[in-house]
Amino acid sequence: MAVDVVPYRAEWVVQLEGVAADLLEALSAVKEARIEHVGSTSVPGLAAKPILDVDVIVPPEQVAAAVSALEAVGYAHVGDYGLAGREALGAPDEEPARHVYVCASGTLHVRNHLAVRDILRRRADLRDAYAAVKDALAADPDMDIDTYTVGKSDVLQRVLALADLTPDERRLILELNAAG
């Protein structure tokens, strides 16, 4: 199955605002819940798969409560996909297309998502290099999502070299991406 990468769309910001408002309403009883737009759709000017990535960040002891609150409004809990402290949820509708994760604050995957987003927002050269890699990978009609993810690893490691992550943390992220 081909990977669909499209030019940046300003509508993603508006879509995220609606999703965030709905999520925060559902999470009103969950202490310290915050919503972060992450992934390529959160970086102005960056080509992306047209799917919003949303991290619901809560204190570790609030993860179960956040998952329950979102299940109560129709999200389907689908597990952690092997990443402790991050629970994936399927959306109750298809518009906008989105991946929603309840994440324990301070975890490596949260720090990774926020660092990549923030660095790519600041560094047009890295944003453009990342876009070029994504576009080249997506141009292959036989591209699968696992190969696509691995193919982006080198440029993401260049981005993460500027983050507040240790070499061991960057290596772990590289290994997790390689594992699919």
Query: Over 90: is that where the pLDDT of 176 sits?
Result: no
pLDDT given at position 52: 98
Q: Examine residue 141 and say whether the peptide bond preceding it is cis (omega within 30 degrees of 0).
A: no
Query: Over 90: is that where the pLDDT of 27 sits?
Result: yes
Q: What percent of the chain has pLDDT over 90?
A: 83
Query: Looking at beta carbons, which pairs linking 19-26 to residues 24 or more positions away fall under 8 Å?
Result: 19/52, 19/54, 19/96, 19/98, 19/100, 20/54, 22/73, 23/54, 23/56, 23/70, 23/100, 26/69, 26/70, 26/72, 26/73
Confidence band (pLDDT; 50, 70, 90) for 139? very high
pLDDT given at position 180: 59
pTM over 0.75: yes
pLDDT given at position 1: 59
User: What is the mean predicted confidence (pLDDT) over 101-119?
Assistant: 96
Tens-place pLDDT, residues 33-66? 999 999 999 999 999 999 999 999 999 999 999 9
| 3-state helix vs strand vs coil in the chain, percent to 5 | 50, 15, 35
Answer yes or no: are the C-beta atoms of 46 and 127 closer than 8 Å. yes
Q: Report how far residue 45's alpha carbon sits from residue 83's, in angstroms, rounded to the nearest whole number.
A: 29
Confidence band (pLDDT; 50, 70, 90) for 133? very high
Instruction: Provide the 10 A C-beta neighbour count for residue 163.
Output: 17
